[in-house]
Protein backbone atom coordinates (compact mmCIF):
# COMPACT_ATOMS: atom_id res chain seq x y z
CA UNK A 1 0.00 0.00 0.00
CA UNK A 2 1.23 3.47 -0.82
CA UNK A 3 2.03 5.70 2.14
CA UNK A 4 0.71 8.72 0.27
CA UNK A 5 -1.72 8.29 -2.58
CA UNK A 6 -3.06 11.21 -4.58
CA UNK A 7 -5.70 10.30 -7.12
CA UNK A 8 -6.82 12.69 -9.85
CA UNK A 9 -6.27 15.83 -7.81
CA UNK A 10 -7.88 18.89 -9.37
CA UNK A 11 -7.04 22.24 -7.78
CA UNK A 12 -6.12 25.83 -8.45
CA UNK A 13 -6.57 29.42 -7.34
CA UNK A 14 -9.76 31.42 -7.75
CA UNK A 15 -11.16 30.50 -11.15
CA UNK A 16 -7.88 29.21 -12.47
CA UNK A 17 -7.67 25.43 -12.56
CA UNK A 18 -3.98 24.57 -12.33
CA UNK A 19 -3.98 20.84 -11.57
CA UNK A 20 -6.17 18.90 -13.98
CA UNK A 21 -6.19 15.52 -12.26
CA UNK A 22 -2.74 14.71 -10.88
CA UNK A 23 -2.04 11.29 -9.39
CA UNK A 24 0.95 10.13 -7.39
CA UNK A 25 1.95 7.31 -5.07
CA UNK A 26 4.77 7.52 -2.56
CA UNK A 27 5.76 4.37 -0.73
CA UNK A 28 7.38 4.04 2.64
CA UNK A 29 11.16 4.44 2.45
CA UNK A 30 11.07 6.06 -0.99
CA UNK A 31 12.60 9.29 -2.23
CA UNK A 32 10.37 10.55 -5.02
CA UNK A 33 11.15 13.63 -7.06
CA UNK A 34 8.72 15.83 -9.00
CA UNK A 35 10.25 17.66 -11.91
CA UNK A 36 8.72 19.82 -14.62
CA UNK A 37 8.86 23.30 -16.10
CA UNK A 38 8.15 26.53 -14.22
CA UNK A 39 4.46 26.94 -13.62
CA UNK A 40 3.73 23.22 -14.13
CA UNK A 41 1.90 23.07 -10.81
CA UNK A 42 4.54 21.31 -8.73
CA UNK A 43 4.23 23.61 -5.73
CA UNK A 44 0.47 23.76 -6.17
CA UNK A 45 0.32 19.98 -5.95
CA UNK A 46 2.19 19.98 -2.65
CA UNK A 47 -0.09 22.69 -1.26
CA UNK A 48 -3.17 20.69 -2.27
CA UNK A 49 -1.81 17.52 -0.65
CA UNK A 50 -0.98 19.38 2.54
CA UNK A 51 -4.42 21.00 2.78
CA UNK A 52 -3.23 24.55 2.18
CA UNK A 53 -5.50 24.93 -0.84
CA UNK A 54 -8.70 23.03 -1.59
CA UNK A 55 -8.86 19.96 -3.78
CA UNK A 56 -11.70 20.63 -6.22
CA UNK A 57 -11.84 16.97 -7.12
CA UNK A 58 -9.88 13.81 -6.46
CA UNK A 59 -8.67 12.20 -3.30
CA UNK A 60 -5.59 12.11 -1.11
CA UNK A 61 -4.88 9.36 1.41
CA UNK A 62 -2.03 9.02 3.86
CA UNK A 63 -1.36 5.71 5.52
CA UNK A 64 -4.78 4.57 4.37
CA UNK A 65 -6.70 7.52 5.86
CA UNK A 66 -8.49 10.09 3.73
CA UNK A 67 -6.79 13.46 4.22
CA UNK A 68 -8.39 15.25 1.27
CA UNK A 69 -8.87 18.86 2.36
CA UNK A 70 -7.98 18.05 5.95
CA UNK A 71 -6.55 20.85 8.02
CA UNK A 72 -2.74 21.16 7.74
CA UNK A 73 -2.42 20.72 11.51
CA UNK A 74 -4.34 17.44 11.33
CA UNK A 75 -2.24 16.33 8.41
CA UNK A 76 0.89 17.13 10.39
CA UNK A 77 -0.41 15.12 13.35
CA UNK A 78 -0.79 12.15 11.04
CA UNK A 79 2.89 12.28 10.19
CA UNK A 80 3.40 14.54 7.19
CA UNK A 81 5.54 17.62 7.21
CA UNK A 82 5.85 20.27 4.53
CA UNK A 83 8.90 22.43 3.89
CA UNK A 84 7.80 25.23 1.55
CA UNK A 85 9.79 26.71 -1.31
CA UNK A 86 10.03 30.18 0.22
CA UNK A 87 9.46 31.86 3.58
CA UNK A 88 10.08 28.59 5.33
CA UNK A 89 11.54 30.00 8.56
CA UNK A 90 10.32 32.66 10.98
CA UNK A 91 12.99 35.28 10.26
CA UNK A 92 12.77 37.19 13.55
CA UNK A 93 12.74 34.14 15.83
CA UNK A 94 15.86 32.34 17.01
CA UNK A 95 16.92 29.02 15.56
CA UNK A 96 15.71 27.22 18.67
CA UNK A 97 12.36 29.04 18.67
CA UNK A 98 11.89 28.08 15.03
CA UNK A 99 12.48 24.44 15.91
CA UNK A 100 10.09 24.67 18.85
CA UNK A 101 7.49 26.12 16.51
CA UNK A 102 7.89 22.99 14.41
CA UNK A 103 6.43 21.05 17.31
CA UNK A 104 3.60 23.45 18.08
CA UNK A 105 0.94 20.86 17.24
CA UNK A 106 2.34 18.56 19.91
CA UNK A 107 1.73 18.96 23.65
CA UNK A 108 5.29 19.92 24.37
CA UNK A 109 8.60 20.18 22.61
CA UNK A 110 9.92 16.63 22.25
CA UNK A 111 13.46 16.64 23.57
CA UNK A 112 14.38 13.55 21.56
CA UNK A 113 13.31 15.23 18.32
CA UNK A 114 15.24 18.38 19.19
CA UNK A 115 18.33 16.32 20.03
CA UNK A 116 17.89 14.46 16.76
CA UNK A 117 17.76 17.68 14.76
CA UNK A 118 20.85 19.04 16.53
CA UNK A 119 22.67 15.79 15.87
CA UNK A 120 21.75 15.93 12.19
CA UNK A 121 22.51 19.63 11.82
CA UNK A 122 25.25 20.54 14.33
CA UNK A 123 25.33 24.11 12.99
CA UNK A 124 21.79 24.61 14.29
CA UNK A 125 22.84 23.61 17.78
CA UNK A 126 25.82 25.96 17.64
CA UNK A 127 23.58 28.78 16.46
CA UNK A 128 20.46 27.95 18.42
CA UNK A 129 20.24 31.43 19.98
CA UNK A 130 20.89 33.26 16.72
CA UNK A 131 18.05 35.06 14.91
CA UNK A 132 17.07 32.99 11.89
CA UNK A 133 17.33 35.80 9.33
CA UNK A 134 21.02 36.19 10.14
CA UNK A 135 21.74 32.62 8.98
CA UNK A 136 23.06 31.98 5.48
CA UNK A 137 20.60 30.72 2.86
CA UNK A 138 21.93 27.20 3.22
CA UNK A 139 21.61 27.28 6.99
CA UNK A 140 18.06 28.60 6.74
CA UNK A 141 17.20 25.66 4.51
CA UNK A 142 18.67 23.30 7.12
CA UNK A 143 16.56 25.05 9.74
CA UNK A 144 13.42 24.67 7.65
CA UNK A 145 14.13 20.96 7.29
CA UNK A 146 14.90 20.68 11.00
CA UNK A 147 11.62 22.35 11.84
CA UNK A 148 9.78 19.78 9.75
CA UNK A 149 11.63 16.96 11.50
CA UNK A 150 10.43 18.08 14.94
CA UNK A 151 7.26 16.03 14.49
CA UNK A 152 9.17 12.87 13.53
CA UNK A 153 7.39 12.69 10.17
CA UNK A 154 6.73 9.57 8.15
CA UNK A 155 6.80 11.68 5.00
CA UNK A 156 8.46 14.99 4.26
CA UNK A 157 7.19 17.13 1.41
CA UNK A 158 10.01 19.46 0.44
CA UNK A 159 9.74 22.11 -2.25
CA UNK A 160 12.97 23.10 -4.05
CA UNK A 161 15.41 22.31 -1.25
CA UNK A 162 18.41 23.41 -3.30
CA UNK A 163 16.90 26.64 -4.65
CA UNK A 164 19.16 29.64 -4.38
CA UNK A 165 21.90 27.62 -2.79
CA UNK A 166 25.59 28.00 -3.60
CA UNK A 167 26.54 25.15 -5.96
CA UNK A 168 28.93 23.55 -3.47
CA UNK A 169 26.10 23.27 -0.92
CA UNK A 170 23.64 21.56 -3.23
CA UNK A 171 25.25 18.16 -2.72
CA UNK A 172 25.13 18.66 1.05
CA UNK A 173 21.39 19.25 0.89
CA UNK A 174 20.78 16.08 -1.08
CA UNK A 175 23.03 14.20 1.31
CA UNK A 176 20.92 15.41 4.24
CA UNK A 177 17.79 14.35 2.43
CA UNK A 178 19.28 10.89 1.89
CA UNK A 179 20.17 10.71 5.61
CA UNK A 180 16.68 11.71 6.65
CA UNK A 181 15.27 9.09 4.33
CA UNK A 182 17.57 6.41 5.72
CA UNK A 183 16.26 7.19 9.20
CA UNK A 184 12.79 6.18 8.07
CA UNK A 185 11.15 9.25 6.53
CA UNK A 186 9.83 8.98 3.00
CA UNK A 187 10.57 12.04 0.87
CA UNK A 188 8.60 13.79 -1.84
CA UNK A 189 10.66 16.63 -3.25
CA UNK A 190 10.19 19.15 -6.01
CA UNK A 191 13.42 20.18 -7.72
CA UNK A 192 14.59 22.50 -10.50
CA UNK A 193 17.97 20.87 -10.24
CA UNK A 194 16.34 17.91 -11.92
CA UNK A 195 19.29 15.82 -12.96
CA UNK A 196 20.94 15.98 -9.56
CA UNK A 197 17.65 15.40 -7.77
CA UNK A 198 16.90 12.31 -9.85
CA UNK A 199 20.35 10.94 -9.06
CA UNK A 200 19.32 11.19 -5.41
CA UNK A 201 15.85 9.73 -5.84
CA UNK A 202 14.25 6.31 -6.32
CA UNK A 203 11.48 7.44 -8.65
CA UNK A 204 10.41 10.56 -10.43
CA UNK A 205 7.24 12.13 -11.75
CA UNK A 206 7.24 14.67 -14.54
CA UNK A 207 4.45 17.23 -14.22
CA UNK A 208 3.70 19.52 -17.12
CA UNK A 209 0.82 21.99 -17.44
CA UNK A 210 -0.95 20.51 -14.44
CA UNK A 211 -0.88 16.93 -15.69
CA UNK A 212 1.18 13.80 -15.16
CA UNK A 213 3.55 13.39 -18.13
CA UNK A 214 5.91 10.62 -17.11
CA UNK A 215 6.60 8.43 -14.13
CA UNK A 216 9.43 5.98 -13.84
CA UNK A 217 12.40 4.89 -11.79
CA UNK A 218 14.79 7.80 -11.45
CA UNK A 219 17.51 5.95 -13.40
CA UNK A 220 15.11 5.26 -16.25
CA UNK A 221 14.07 8.91 -16.41
CA UNK A 222 17.71 9.95 -16.53
CA UNK A 223 18.30 7.52 -19.41
CA UNK A 224 15.19 8.53 -21.35
CA UNK A 225 16.08 10.68 -24.38
CA UNK A 226 12.67 12.39 -24.49
CA UNK A 227 12.92 13.37 -20.83
CA UNK A 228 16.48 14.47 -21.39
CA UNK A 229 15.54 16.74 -24.26
CA UNK A 230 12.30 18.11 -22.84
CA UNK A 231 12.97 18.38 -19.12
CA UNK A 232 16.66 18.00 -18.39
CA UNK A 233 17.97 20.58 -20.80
CA UNK A 234 19.16 18.23 -23.58
N1 LIG B 1 -1.22 32.01 -5.01
C2 LIG B 1 -1.48 31.93 -6.31
N3 LIG B 1 -2.54 32.58 -6.86
C4 LIG B 1 -2.80 32.48 -8.19
N5 LIG B 1 -2.08 31.75 -9.06
C6 LIG B 1 -1.03 31.09 -8.57
C7 LIG B 1 -0.66 31.14 -7.18
N8 LIG B 1 0.42 30.37 -7.00
C9 LIG B 1 0.74 29.86 -8.21
N10 LIG B 1 -0.13 30.29 -9.14
C11 LIG B 1 -0.12 29.91 -10.57
O12 LIG B 1 -0.28 28.51 -10.65
C13 LIG B 1 0.54 27.97 -11.70
C14 LIG B 1 1.40 26.87 -11.14
O15 LIG B 1 2.27 27.43 -10.17
P16 LIG B 1 3.20 26.56 -9.25
O17 LIG B 1 3.83 27.50 -8.28
O18 LIG B 1 2.47 25.40 -8.73
O19 LIG B 1 4.26 26.04 -10.32
P20 LIG B 1 5.63 25.26 -10.10
O21 LIG B 1 5.59 24.07 -10.97
O22 LIG B 1 5.90 25.08 -8.66
O23 LIG B 1 6.67 26.30 -10.73
P24 LIG B 1 8.15 26.75 -10.27
O25 LIG B 1 9.06 25.73 -10.87
O26 LIG B 1 8.31 28.08 -10.89
O27 LIG B 1 8.20 26.76 -8.77
C28 LIG B 1 1.30 29.14 -12.29
O29 LIG B 1 0.62 29.55 -13.45
C30 LIG B 1 1.22 30.20 -11.22
O31 LIG B 1 1.23 31.48 -11.78
MG1 LIG C 1 7.27 25.79 -7.34
What lies within 8 Å, CB to CB, of 18 at 6+ separation is 11, 12, 41, 44, 210
Predicted local confidence at residue 166, as pLDDT? 84
pLDDT (0 to 100) of residue 87: 87
Least confident range of 13-17, 92-96, 192-196: 192-196
pLDDT exceeds 90 at position 86:
no
What pLDDT does residue 94 have?
97
Distance between Cα 157 and ligand 2 center (Å): 12
**Strand 16-26 to 4-13 pairing:** antiparallel
pLDDT tens for each residue of 28-44: 999 999 999 999 999 99
> Sheet containing 203-208: which strands, arranged edge to edge?
80-83, 155-159, 186-190, 31-35, 203-208, 211-217
Give the alpha-carbon dihedral of 159, 24, 219, 85, to 10 degrees: 0
**pLDDT surpasses 90 at 93:** yes
> Which of 11, 44, 209 best tests ligand 1's pocket when mutated (most atoms within 8 Å of CB)?
44
Return the percentage of the chain with pLDDT > 70, whole number: 100
| pLDDT at residue 156, as a whole number | 98
Atom 2, ligand 1: residue with shortest CA distance:
13
Among protein residues, the one with the nearest Cα to ligand 1's atom 13 is: 39
Supply angle C-alpha 85, 60, 182, rounded to 5.
60
Tell me the per-residue pLDDT of 121-131, one tens digit each, with 9 for 90 and over. 999 999 999 99
- Distance, in Å, from the CA atom of 70 to the CA atom of 51, rounded to the nearest integer, reads 6
Mutation test of ligand 1: which of 11, 13, 193 has the most ligand atoms closer than 8 Å to its C-beta? 13
Residue with the smallest CA separation from ligand 1 atom 6 is 13
Stretch 87-112: mean pLDDT, rounded? 91
Picking from 84, 139, 93, the residue whose alpha carbon sits closest to that of residue 117 is 139
Nearest ligand (C-alpha, residue 36): 1
Closest CA to 35 of 172, 163, 227: 227
234 — pLDDT class (breaks 50, 70, 90): low
Q: Is 14's pLDDT higher than 70?
A: yes
* pLDDT reported for residue 90: 95
Q: Is 18 left (phi over 0), alpha (psi -120 to 50) or beta?
A: alpha
- Average pLDDT, stretch 9-26? 98
pTM of this structure: 0.95
Q: What is the pLDDT of residues 119-165, one digit of tens each?
A: 999 999 999 999 999 999 889 999 999 999 999 999 999 999 998 78
As a whole number, mean pLDDT of residues 192-220 equals 96
Amino acid sequence: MALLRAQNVVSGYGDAEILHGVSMDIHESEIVCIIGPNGAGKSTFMKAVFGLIDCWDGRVTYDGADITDADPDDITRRGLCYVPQTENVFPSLTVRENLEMGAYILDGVPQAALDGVFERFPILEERQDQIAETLSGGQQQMLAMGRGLMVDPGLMLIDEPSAGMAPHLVDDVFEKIQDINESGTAILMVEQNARKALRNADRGYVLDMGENRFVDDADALLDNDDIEELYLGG
